[in-house]
Structure 1
């Protein structure tokens, strides 16, 4: 990435954040994290109470990048074919025709994903990892960009199926929106009910692909890679974790750090980029041991301690 390209990337990224921010007032960091997940070609998990704007975020992102948006309400009786699509025999043409499901969209909102059965949850695994759906032995690409924004309600757990660690690991970033501040709340109450209807596209879906390709070219020094490796290794060797971040977690942190650096107009990654993203990228990948869990320790607490005790590697002089 050249300095000119990084400047364009940062300017465009800020424009996207500002546009989405018209629908989600006072949520600059969650919006930046969501767009980082999209440009790193990953997926976002939101754990938040109802009514905090999760649906609005998905609609606003889709409208901003001139893409399509589908919402899937996950329920216990939802079938995998309700998500991916189904092949139906057409008596007129005497052929089987594929009818795509709601997963074929630029931004897919999987609302209350933990309410569906494990079999239906697993229907998302292939498309989240491979960007394609296989039905009756035929593979169908979902296109680019493609992003799943899944939501979970942390309060109401009755009738839910906890996401397995393998599926949690496939979400690039986990974060929450939270309630807006007082000033933003007043502005929301005084305005339209759905603020996403007035949004205009800022870039095309093709430009999103261009930005994603550019982000991959951001330079990351070997010293920063060593820092990421030591952080993930520390999560695996920590006394309070039963399962730490895998190599996939380290790769996710690198991908996000590259986008984060480009969004700030840099063509290189700094250790501070890794620190800024460690919590949303790694925390949901940690499994605490039983004693730590009973003691009320959170994965975020473990990561905070690891970040404090793990010093960044010294960057080489250019």
Structure 2
């Protein structure tokens, strides 16, 4: 595979389209059957938003993230979250130097560009609080010292939807900091057969531990320029109104003629409105456009909103999930 030139300072759309196409091709040679997840991770990267991935073990989530960070030439760290994890295990600690009588800060694994927080819901509240500061403020506090994280800092967190013993529900404030909550299912039969032909599967019993030896396609400066280019994607006023109506319908469904008020306990915050526009811009860029369409919004609305609203006990009694409620809203709000 040929490597494109790094993106020029003016970041033309043509160069970005070419490079992103090669990035998807690279990731699909590493992991098969997960094209939707690959595209959503790239959209989140372009939008500069963190991602919560929910899926059972063995779906190559770690492998995708490691391959993506390698292709972008970004430092990667993985943290296995456990109930006995301490905030210092994440942020770092202070070490006393007897010779000088001072404390030096030893940064923790959170000081990186791409952080994979594996089974994030197993960590206690104090650890979640430390991670929340990093996700929202782009910094961590160790003792009386503040460490500024890289501009490319990006959190991809995973959680198992089946296992609940020894887990802690993520607080609403932290969930709201994730751009996406992506649900990952099993690959189809053809993709699962294709997995058996991957070289790494034939050579080792632990394919996810093998590094990708191909050179990077981008560098950290390219990632920053891609995000700036994403922010320049045009959004028409009618699209903005459509996004606002979708989000407000989760808070006040009766105002939009939806009989969903008894089913929604908590609607999405204004941060959801901003996040949906950011994601739609990135989706448009990935699809080789410099303007947003209603399809960009509808394609990502559930991923942006499903973790930001709470359904009521009545919805649970009727067997309706968050996605079911969101589909009713998407089907009802007029598309511009």
What TM-score, normalized by structure 2, do the two folds share? 0.89
Q: Which residue, out of 223, 228, 236, partners 1:221?
A: 236
Q: CA deviation at 1:5?
A: 1.9
Q: Deviations over 1:113-155 (max 9, x none)?
A: 1111111111100110111112223221110211111111011
Are 2:173 and 1:166 equivalent residues in the alignment?
yes
CA–CA distance in 2 between the matches of 1:4 and 1:24? 28
Please identify, of 273-282 and 16-25, the stretch whose mean Cα deviation from structure 2 is larger. Answer: 16-25
- Counterpart in the other structure of 2:162: 155
Runs (4+) of structure 1 moved beyond 4 Å? Answer: none
Contact 1:69/1:105 (8 A) holds in 2 = yes
Contact 1:56/1:196 (8 A) holds in 2 = no
Residues 145 and 182 (structure 1 numbering): CA distance in 2 closer, same or farther, change over 3 Å? same
Q: CA deviation at 1:56?
A: 0.7
Aligned length: 311
- Counterpart in the other structure of 1:259: 282
SS in 1 for 2:307: helix
Structure 1 residues 42-53: aligned runs within 5 Å:
42-53=49-60
Q: Deviations over 1:87-126 (max 9, x none)?
A: 2112234332111111111111111111111111111001
Q: Deviations over 1:47-78 (max 9, x none)?
A: 10011111112211111101111111111100
SS in 1 for 2:82: coil
Structure 1 residues 42-121: aligned runs within 5 Å:
42-121=49-128
Q: Any unmatched runs of 5+ in structure 2? A: 1-9, 201-206, 254-260
- Counterpart in the other structure of 2:39: 32
SS in 2 for 1:201: coil
Please give the root-mean-square deviation of Cα atoms over the aligned residues, in Å: 1.6
Structure 1 residues 263-278: aligned runs within 5 Å:
263-278=286-301
Q: Deviations over 1:204-252 (max 9, x none)?
A: 0110001001111111111111000000010112311111111000100
SS in 2 for 1:285: coil
Residues 271 and 95 (structure 1 numbering): CA distance in 2 closer, same or farther, change over 3 Å? same
Q: CA deviation at 1:4?
A: 8.2
Q: Deviations over 1:29-53 (max 9, x none)?
A: 1111011111211101011001111
- Counterpart in the other structure of 1:316: none
SS in 2 for 1:198: coil
CA–CA distance in 2 between the matches of 1:12 and 1:130? 30
SS in 1 for 2:217: coil
Contact 2:50/2:179 (8 A) holds in 1 = yes
CA–CA distance in 1 between the matches of 2:166 and 2:71? 35
Q: Which residue, out of 291, 295, 300, partners 2:323?
A: 300
